[in-house]
Structure 1
Amino acid sequence: MQSFTPPAPKGGNPVFMMFMLVTFFVSIAGALQAPTLSLYLSQELAAKPFMVGLFFTINAVTGIIISFILAKRSDRKGDRRRLLMFCCAMAIANALMFAFVRQYVVLITLGLILSALTSVVMPQLFALAREYADRTGREVVMFSSVMRTQMSLAWVIGPPISFALALNYGFITLYLVAAALFLLSLILIKTTLPSVPRLYPAEDLAKSAASGWKRTDVRFLFAASVLMWVCNLMYIIDMPLYISKSLGMPESFAGVLMGTAAGLEIPVMLLAGYLAKRVGKRPLVIVAAVCGLAFYPAMLVFHQQTGLLIIQLLNAVFIGIVAGLVMLWFQDLMPGKAGAATTLFTNSVSTGMIFAGLCQGLLSDLLGHQAIYVLATVLMVIALLLLLRVKEQA
């Protein structure tokens, strides 16, 4: 579909369903690759813990730079669908490279450039969906929420499949499956998704971002969000190595833990959305931070599979609320500047990845994997104190 086509006035909307399907396929392709990446680097490339952490850090930095450049282009040209197709093609090339190349230097240079282009797919897909919802008069929050549930569902299914493929059939098979999913996504984007003209000038968003950053509440919330994502992303990077090398558990159990947390996040997101209208976003995010503060030291206390599975409820409440409500909290603090607020939230995630990769690599190499969870506990205390300083809304 080359240009914008309005939906049917009643009943189901096939374009809406295609957005859901593409979101699921792109998400599950990512959920196949991300959980086992640290194991891939450690086993296939014999990378030391510091080199693993450095890989994730450079990946995040490259992603921020390239996504900023491409976002400016998409805002100027106003054709996100073509950019989506290009990035899906780069995602296919990236998966094929990881399938057949085993040189660390090649993967941390050319491979990470392709990975950065791959990371653009999801935010651009959400941007296109938002513009489509605005043009068709759909309820934007519900549209976005349903797309987010596709991501969570993919992360329920993806990690266990990822470990099963990697451990039973090898990483070549794993990355070939991911390439096939991106190819299917590219075909669906080309044939079913619309091109929607941009509604808001990029210059307006740039001015909004600058003025919003002057607010103390916005800066505190940004800092707290960065710290919380540092903790979560350190956990994602380190946990497969921690449970296999420190606790002596099967590597495949890491996929079970990630899938369990993702599955629990779905009802948490829905419940948080329901409660936010009644009690506000601030109290719920503070509850989430308290759960995160309890979760990371619990990782050091529970050394059995049952216990680790149970405490995933804390992890699910933490991430389910933070991922869903912190972005909306930014928007409340920056009224009329939803685009700039969303950009600040996504930048906090990317910034968290930079520090997470460095901290995980250095600490696990020098002090062992347990030090990761001690640091996460300290950072969660600081994040909670910052959140308590932030108002509910402007």
Structure 2
Amino acid sequence: MGIQGFPIILLVNIFFGVSMSFVLPFNSMFGIDEVGMSNTTFGIFMLVSSLSGIVISTIIAKLSDRIPDRKIILVLCAAAGVIGYLGFAFSRDYFVLLAFSSVFLGISSSTFAQVFAIGREMLTKSDMPPKQLPFYMNILRTIFALAWTVGPAIASYVLLYLGFVGLYVVAATANACVAVITLLFLHRKVEAKGGKASQADLPLRQIMLQPTILINLIAFTCIATANTLNSMNMAQFVTKELGGSGENVGLIFSIPPVFEIPFMLGFGYMATRMKSDKLIRLGAFIAFVYFGALYFTEAPWHIYSIQILSALYISITNGIAITYFQDFLPDMPGTATNLYSNSNKAGNMIGFMLFGVIADSFGYRNVYLTCALFTLAAAVLLVALGRSKRMQVQASASA
């Protein structure tokens, strides 16, 4: 709490988490059940939105690493979220929604990267030992998860009584709180960027083609693809395949964050004692087990206990992973966090393209078989990368 500005960024993260927890679990219900999209047209809608988000957020991330203070960028990203979610609240036209999603929510998608880049800068400039960074970054990620502990459950009741208008108005209000808090209360000592920060001028392609970064990007894209398929499929699977209700969906999405909080703190502490790449490989394997278990569920209540596995792998792949990527480019936290974020968006695009085809052709249950295959591929890639690194170290030691 004594780190300058850190309590404010923690508060900002709560409101940002609330907006996400109200929106993401019900995306497919909004598009398919409220607007009337088919599985395929909804996939196309989300594909275009994610592609736009990748392009816009990449530009914003590179810009943020060149300027002295990210505060104004965070304010603008949050303000764009307000406009985007208000558009979703009051429009049901496919192309109007696509415009709001591609432009305003595309800009808003950079909020996540900017919050964690600011958090990383605050911790780096403090007196904290560098070895403790993963633990405290996981505290920041845990605050985001805290908003998810009750967010989806509350959102399900907002949806029941106020409909999607109320749902998106709450999301817009949360983004407005992010903008106002950042603008009025986030005061930091701003230093002109120079020296090592000039690395921000490196071409993005040169950064991405580094073998370690490239393999991790592919692996995390596979995990994100499975996550996206799961988020799009869960509501439909529970209500149409297992005979559950919207309340079941809200409860299912609320369970993992309850466990994510202690898990993230625990794994964050472990990351100060051991190499993060070992934990990342463990997370990919747990994800494979989780999606394999979902494939065999027969009732909504079966999913409740399985969601603990979701909390385990999310705590690693969405918690430690942020610091893990930032360590690749320690002087470019905006670009590094955005690379991680863009691997999620690339996975989103693949998931959006596949969801309609798999769900329409093979059913909602087989979507989880696909998720298991993607996470298995991620685990294999990460294990192969770890083995390659060990062989290089041994070769260097014997030379």
**Same-fold call, TM > 0.5?**
yes
Mapping 1:53-202, distance limit 5 Å: 53-138=43-128, 140-194=133-187, 196-197=190-191, 199=193
* Distance across 2 between alignment mates of 1:378 and 1:65: 28
Letter in 2 for 1:189: T
Letter in 2 for 1:266: I
Partner of 2:6: 16
* Distance across 2 between alignment mates of 1:173 and 1:296: 32
Q: Deviations 1:322-371 (Å, cap 9, x if unpaired)?
A: 12233444456x47566454443222112111111111122112322122
* Distance across 1 between alignment mates of 2:92 and 2:39: 17
2:65 partner SS? helix
CA shift, 1:138, in A, is 4.6
* Distance across 2 between alignment mates of 1:58 and 1:147: 30
Partner of 1:4: none
Partner of 1:275: 270
Mapping 1:313-328, distance limit 5 Å: 313-328=308-323
Partner of 1:265: 260
CA shift, 1:244, in A, is 0.7
Tell me the TM-score normalized by structure 2. Answer: 0.88
Deviates most, 307-316 or 14-23: 14-23
Partner of 1:46: 36
User: What is the CA RMSD across the aligned residues, in angstroms?
Assistant: 2.5
2:386 partner SS? coil
* Distance across 2 between alignment mates of 1:335 and 1:25: 28
Q: In structure 2, list runs of 5 or more residues that go unmatched.
A: 394-399
Q: Which of 339, 344, 357 lines up with 1:344 in the alignment?
A: 339
* Distance across 2 between alignment mates of 1:202 and 1:113: 29
Identical residues among aligned pairs (%): 26
Q: In structure 1, list runs of 5 or more residues that go unmatched.
A: 1-10
Letter in 1 for 2:369: V
Letter in 1 for 2:235: P
* Distance across 2 between alignment mates of 1:361 and 1:198: 48
Contact 2:155–2:167 (CA under 8 A) maintained in structure 1: yes
Letter in 1 for 2:240: K
Q: Deviations 1:170-199 (Å, cap 9, x if unpaired)?
A: 111111222222222222111100253454
Tell me the TM-score normalized by structure 1. Answer: 0.89
Paired positions, count: 383
Partner of 2:359: 364
Q: Does 1:302 align with 2:297?
A: yes
Contact 1:225–1:326 (CA under 8 A) maintained in structure 2: no
Contact 1:91–1:182 (CA under 8 A) maintained in structure 2: yes
* Distance across 1 between alignment mates of 2:233 and 2:296: 16
Partner of 2:397: none
